[in-house]
Structure 1
Amino acid sequence: MGHLISHRNQLKWILRTGLFAAGSATLPFVAGCDKPGQAAGAPPPIEVTYTTVKTETVPADYSFIGQTEASQSVEIRARVQGFLLDWQKNAEGKPNFLEGMEVEKGQLLFQIDPKEFEVAVEEANSNLDRATARDNRAQREVKRLTDAVASNAAALKELDDAVSEQLQSKADVRLQKATLEARKLDLSYTTIKSPIKGVIGRAQRDVGSLVDASSNSLLATVLQLDPTYVNFSFSERDYIQWRKDVEMGKIVMPAGGPDKLYIDITLIDGTPYPYWGEVNFADVRIDPQTGTASVRASIPNPLLISPQRKPDHLLKPGQFVKGKIVGWQRPNTISVPQKSIIQSAAGAYVYVIGGDNKPEVRPVKLGSWTGLEWIVMDGLAAGDRVIVDGALKVIPNVPVKPTALPPTVRPQVITKPSTAPAELKNQAELEQLRMPGTRPATQPATQPAPY
């Protein structure tokens, strides 16, 4: 009996290793060792699960790795030479700003000692008054000589000299006015305010430092983080394939067309970001060095307010994120679960259950991923039964015991976000946002989770 069982195991090994085509060798019958109704020596059929292929509309996933940057980055620089006053403690005893914190547009940041500039303004005012007095005297002299020449009481040359003097005095008045405006402008430069609303970085100069308009001018940098930009690139090959798919109708765009592209991003730890971004720039050139073109999207990045920590933005400049374009659809598409695909040196293939529940090898041409499934470009047709679980155990043309999987429920394909989620303002929502695989409760139900 032990010899017969050993012989049976050898035959099983031969069949599994492919040394003999399944069904071409006649298995011996072993009496007394088989179940009733089963051929002697035949193993029980392998249990597998399968999915029935059908055509449907699926999201056209174009994924990429992007990097964030501030939508505006403004360097705060000195425009006149002078000594910095104490920006950390102003006249009211409070700092003008805190490094790393939000500042408003027009908020006072730095103050250069204005005393010498105030003196210069006063001097320019005095010079203007002097020039104005000379101009008034020249006008009176011209009027007097004009009357005198008319009555032959003065020579014409005296009048000509007076007119020239008046013209010079008028020019001097204009010069002194311009000088006064320049001195006032220099004085205004001693008060340095933020040109935008954003987050200010580290101060580059300490209190009492001598700053100027050249090498010592940089004082700090203000970054606008809401919205934030996400920069990514796509290859020339992807661009060509995308154009072909659009022209052949394999990809259907939203009503806005290619000018309205939305992206959904995921943080590096897998946390889905609660806001969608919109592509607002695409380079018209392809870089010959890298073979890629750059694309930029603008995405909301509101200030998160929490009682446990200082207000902060979730996205920081320089972060790497994973994103994908959303809203595009692939109609009449066939897709199968990823684990049903078997890769070999000859290419990808699946097992299709044929007549009498016998699996057949079917080579397939794969496209991109959509969620947890592969898009099959060629090799399958609607109605095919593709083995999902147990594909690595089956033997071609050897009957199996199939069990159907429930149909896949796909998320609704949304072409654009209906409304933006409300701002996150409490710790509970912030903690929920940090949990991978979840969205904050404030997000509308109409905006889909990642596919």
Structure 2
Amino acid sequence: MSFVNTLKYQLLLFLPLGLLGCGEQTIGAGKPKASLHVDTLTLEYSNIRLTSELPGRITAFKEAEVRPQITGIVQSRLYQEGSFVEAGDVLFQIDPTSYQSTVNSAKAQLKKALANEVTSKKSADRYVKLMKQKLTSQEQVDDANSSYLQAKAEVAIRQAELDYANIELSYTQIKAPISGQAGFSLVSDGSLLTSGQSDYITTIIQTDNVYIDMKKSSVSLYKLKQEFFSVRGKKHIVPVLITLEDGTAYEHEGHLEFVDTQVEGSTGTVTLRAIIPNPDNTLLAGMYVRAHISAPEARDYLIVPQSAVVRSQSGDSYVFVVNGDSQAVKKAVELGNEVGNGWVVKTGLSVGDKVVINNLMNLKNNLKVVVDSDKTTSQINSAQASQNKESTDTQSSLPQLSEQG
């Protein structure tokens, strides 16, 4: 076999393989790309009453730090720690011996001054009579009258000294300045207390009502005030509800009591203070709670699930909406309050828009999609309400464990 014939033979062997590969490439290039399958939510208005949730801290309605006003030794504690005390109740008794002695001395000095006043008065009156009879001089009359006035002033001085001694004696009984729950005693019998000491010996907290201190954006606070003003007029009350740290809703409703007059420059927030009833002393000073401030009335809003919102690297929010040509179109949105598992949409969407709620990782702008299922906002809300009801019924049907002593 010649070299030429051998080359022809080899070419004939590779030719079918080359044609077969070209055929596969042609078939692969002509195969249409599969459309992405998605589910959508057709937006409808939801009539809801928006609520702002703010972290807050409980502060006592009134709190008094009890300190001694005199120096002395504690004889006894006369209240039960943690009990309710009335204003004026004696909490501690300081040894009154030395202060009682001072009072007794002041009383004696006052009696002496009073006796001297009487004598001076009589002497002055006698000199006045003698002067009328021209049996004495005017100078002697003036001296007698001056002695009487000095004796009278001495009485006033001794009376003031007695009053001050009685006040100090009364301070040996340390009394409750306000009514409320008395705290732990920080001193024991035999302890030395000093006048003007910085350390308090106990505290009294009034907790029938408590304050909730929180912070809110000055802009959002202004908008909330405007809403209440437009609905309820100038004399409006802003209701406040709270949730405890474990998620339990507190049964009593409070109201906004005070708004600070200055905005914090670094954060742009303003301090709010609400007052809320606390008849069972459930709320303790220092507790952290979640405060809920509701809008004055319910309004219509568009709400999208949080899982349907995509955020860009710059922090901008957008969603994908399926248009009439079955294409996923990216739309920028401005979000408002958080409502359950959704966001209130301020701008960017309209009623009837079909928002894509799954397969977001594979979506691209203007990508052809196939809608597998489409539900409306009302259908989603009804399904969630039924699910919550079933969950509640299941929990109520569980056997309850009772505590046994």
TM bucket, shorter chain: 0.7 to 0.9
Secondary structure of 1:274 counterpart? coil
Q: Does 1:337 align with 2:268?
A: no
Residue number among 291, 294, 299 corresponding to 2:271 in the alignment:
294
**Would the alpha carbon gap of residues 258 and 336 (structure 1) be closer, same or farther in structure 2, given more than 3 Å must change?**
farther
Taking structure 1 as reference, are residues 252 and 352 closer, same or farther at Cα in structure 2, changes over 3 Å only? farther
Distance 1:256 1:220 in 2: 45
C-alpha distance in 2 between matches for 1:155 and 1:48: 122
Distance 1:316 1:245 in 2: 29
Matched, 1:86 2:76: yes
Q: Residue in 1 aligned with 2:350? A: 381
Deviation digits for residues 234-258 of structure 1, max 9, x if unmatched? 3xxx3235546877x7x87651559
Secondary structure, counterpart of 2:165 in structure 1: helix
Deviation at 1:392, TM superposition (A): 5.9
SS at match of 2:146: helix
- 1:356-391, Cα deviation, whole Å (9 max, x unpaired): 766544332222212332111112112223344666
How far did residue 109 of structure 1 move? 0.7
Tell me by how many angstroms 1:322 deviates. 1.9
Q: Secondary structure at the match of 2:263?
A: coil
Tell me what 1:399 maps to: 370
- Return the offset for 1:149: 1.9
- Find out whether 1:77 has 2:76 as its counterpart: no
Partner residue in 1 for 2:21: none
Of residues 142, 145, 153, the one that matches 1:171 is 153
Confirm or deny: 8 A CA contact 1:358 1:400 kept in the other structure. Answer: no
**Partner SS, residue 253 of structure 2:** strand
Q: Once the 2 structures are TM-superposed, how far is the Cα of residue 393 of structure 1 from its aligned partner?
A: 7.2
Maintained 8 Å contact 1:275/1:300: yes
Residue 240 in 1 paired to residue 219 in 2? yes
| Larger Rg computed on CA atoms | 2
| Cross-structure match for 2:50 | 60
* 1:319 alignment counterpart: 287
Task: Give the superposition deviation at 1:182.
Answer: 0.9
Q: TM-score scaled to structure 2, two decimals?
A: 0.76
Cα distance per residue 1:275-318 (max 9 Å; x no partner): 22322222211233554332222222222xxxxxxxxx322222
Cα offsets for 1:66-113 (capped at 9, x unmatched): 2222122211111111111111xxxxxxxx223233322222211111
Q: Which has the higher helix share?
A: 2
Deviation, 1:167, is 0.5
- What is the rounded CA distance, in whole Å, between the counterparts of 2:343 and 2:247 in structure 1? 21
Residue 370 of structure 1 is matched in structure 2 by 339
Q: CA RMSD in A?
A: 3.2
Contact 1:121 1:183 survives alignment (8 Å): yes
1:110 lines up with 2:81 in the alignment: no
The answer as to whether partners of 2:43 and 2:303 remain within 8 angstroms in 1 is: no
Q: Match of 1:50? A: 41
* Contact map agreement 1:76 1:219 (CA 8 A) in 2: yes
Alignment match, 1:408: 381
Specify the alignment match of 1:279 in structure 2: 256
Sequence identity percentage: 29
1:158 shift after superposition: 2.3
Alignment gaps of 5+ in structure 1: 1-6, 12-24, 29-40, 88-95, 304-312, 410-434, 436-451
How many residues were matched structurally? Answer: 352
Task: Label 1:290 to 1:59 Cα distance change in 2 as closer, same or farther (>3 A).
Answer: same
CA contact (8 A) 2:57 2:213 kept: yes
Q: Quick one: which of 163, 174, 190 aligns to 1:181?
A: 163
| Matched AA of 2:373 | P
- Measured at CA, do residues 320 and 225 of structure 1 come closer, stay the same or move farther in structure 2, by a change above 3 Å? same
Provide structure 2 residue ranges, at least 5 long, that are not aligned to the other structure: 1-23, 383-394, 396-405
Say if 1:262 and 1:50 are closer, same or farther in 2 by CA, change over 3 A.
same
Offset from partner CA, 1:406-428 (integer Å, 9 cap, x none): 1637xxxxxxxxxxxxxxxxxxx
Letter in 1 for 2:244: L
